[in-house]
Amino acid sequence: MTIKHKLIISHVIVFIVPVMMTALVIIISGLGLLIFARNGNHIYVESAWEFQHACEAIHYIVFDDDDDDDYDYNSVGYWLIGLLAPEQNYIRVVEENKIIYSYGNESLQSIGKTLLEDVDLNFGDKEFTYTNTLENDFVYFERQIFDGQSYSLYFVSRRSIHDEDEDLEEALQNTIYFVVGSLIIFVLATSWFLSRFILNNFLLPLNHMAEKLSESLKESKLQEESRKELVASISHDLRTPLTTIKAYVEGLLDNVADTPDKKLRYLQVINKKADELNNLIEQLFLFSKMSLGEKAVPFEVIDLKSMLEFFVSENLYVWQKSQAEVTLEIESNAQIIGSFLLLERILSNIIGNSIKYRSEEKFACKINLKVEKKIAILSVSDNGIGVPEESLKKLTDPFYRTDKARSHTENGTGLGLAITLRAVEMMNGALKIENLKPHGLKVVIELPILKELD
C-alpha cells in the first residue's frame, strides 16, 4: 500500500469514525428513551422553565423547524410527545378547522380557551406564537402558514409536583452521562488508533527511509573517497615502473650503457618492470571483472578436498624452489558452490604474500580444511613476521601495503588481498585475518556448504 493510499484511509477514518460513533450513541440513547416511554414512564412539567423547553421540543416535532412553504405532517418524532404525562398535558394540532393530532387529557382543553379566542381576534390569519403562565397552568399557542393553509398548535399543561418522574429524570441524566462519556471514549480511542496508525504507517517508515538515506549518503561518500584513493593509488603504482622504464630507455638512447653487459642489464630491468606493469594491469582487470559478479565469473559445484589436493600438487615444485614448506590437512570435506579459478587465486594470493614477507629462511605454511555447522572453514597459517595490529583491518583495502612509501612494486600490486576478499564475498563467504603467537599470520575463509562429504 502506497503512502498516498494510507493518507486517504487516515483522512476517511478521521471523518467517518466520529460521525459513526456519534450516530451510534444517538441511536442507542433514542432507543433507550423509546423503551423507557413504552414502559409507561412519563415526564411531569413542574416549572415554567420545564414548560418552555417542552414547548421548544414540541415545536420542532410538529413543525420540524421547516422553512419550506409546504407543511409535512411528520409523525416520526411524535412518540417523544408520549413522554409527557397524559393526565397533566393536552396537545392538539389543527389543520384549518380539522384536528389532525391530539394527545393527553382532553378535559384540559378548556384551559385558556378565552385567551385563545382573544389571541385569534388580535392576530387574525397571521402567524404567531403565544405563551402564558396562569396560576396553576401553562398555555402555549402557535400558528404557522404553509402553502396558504393554517396549522395551529395548542399545548396546555397543568402545574404538578410529582415525585414519580424521578426515575425518568435519573434515566435522562444517566443517558446524558452515557452520551458524553461515550463520546469522550470514542474521541480518545480514535485519537489513539490514529496516532498508532500514523506512527506505524508514516513516521516509522519515514524514519526508516531517513536512516536508509543517511546510510546511503555515508556509503556514497565513502565510495567516493575510496574511488579517489583508488585512482591515486593506481596512478602511483603505474608511475613507479614507468619512471624506471623511461629512465633506462633514456640511458640506452644516450649511450650511457656503452658496453654489451650494461645494455643487457638495462634491458633486463626494462623487461622486469614491463612484467610488473602487465601483472598490475591483469590484477586491475580481474578486480573490475569481479565487480560484475557471477556473470563474469561462472560458478560450479566444487569438491573442496579434491580442489585443494590438485592445487597443492600443481604448486608444490614452485614452493620447494622458494624453500617454502606447504602442508595440507583435511579434517572433513564438503561441496560448495563457487569458482575453481577464484579459489586458486585466493590461495595463490595468500600463500604468495606469506612467502614474500617471510622472516626466516625455513618458511612453513599449513592449509587446513574442516566443516562446522554447515560452514566450510579453510585456513592458511604461516610462521612469518605477522602484521602490525593497526594494519590488520586495512590489509584487504586496494593498493594497501605495510610499506608506507609503496615504492617496492616488485613485492606485489597491493590488490592481492582485495581480490581475495571480493572473491570470498562473491561466494557468500567471510574472510578473517589474525596474528598468531609468538609470530605468524592466519587467514580464515568461511564458505557455506552445499553438502558435507565423507
Q: Report the pLDDT value the prediction gives residue 445, as an integer from 0 to 100.
A: 93
φ/ψ bin of 242: left (φ > 0), alpha (ψ from -120 to 50), beta (otherwise): alpha
Domain boundaries, the chain: 42-164, 293-453
Neighbouring-strand partners of residue 365: 326, 382
Domain 293-453, what fold?
Answer: Heat Shock Protein 90 (3.30.565)
Q: What's the one-letter identity of residue 51? A: F
* Sequence-separated (6 or more) residues with CB below 8 Å from residue 433: 387, 392, 395, 396, 417, 441, 442, 443, 444
Residue 66 backbone phi and psi in degrees, to 5: -90, 130
Query: Would you give per-residue pLDDT tens digits along the chain (454 residues)?
Result: 566 666 666 666 666 766 777 777 777 766 766 676 666 677 788 888 888 888 998 888 888 755 555 555 555 677 778 888 888 899 998 888 888 888 998 888 787 777 777 777 677 778 888 888 887 889 999 988 888 888 888 999 987 765 555 665 666 677 777 777 877 887 777 777 777 776 676 667 777 888 888 888 888 887 677 666 656 656 666 777 788 888 888 888 888 888 888 889 889 888 888 887 787 777 667 666 666 554 556 789 999 999 999 999 988 888 888 888 999 999 999 999 988 888 888 888 888 888 877 777 778 899 999 999 899 999 999 988 888 888 787 777 766 655 443 344 444 556 668 778 888 888 899 999 898 888 888 999 999 998 888 7
> Nearest-CA neighbor of 429 among 332, 317, 315, 343?
343
> Nearest-CA neighbor of 437 among 390, 400, 389, 369?
389
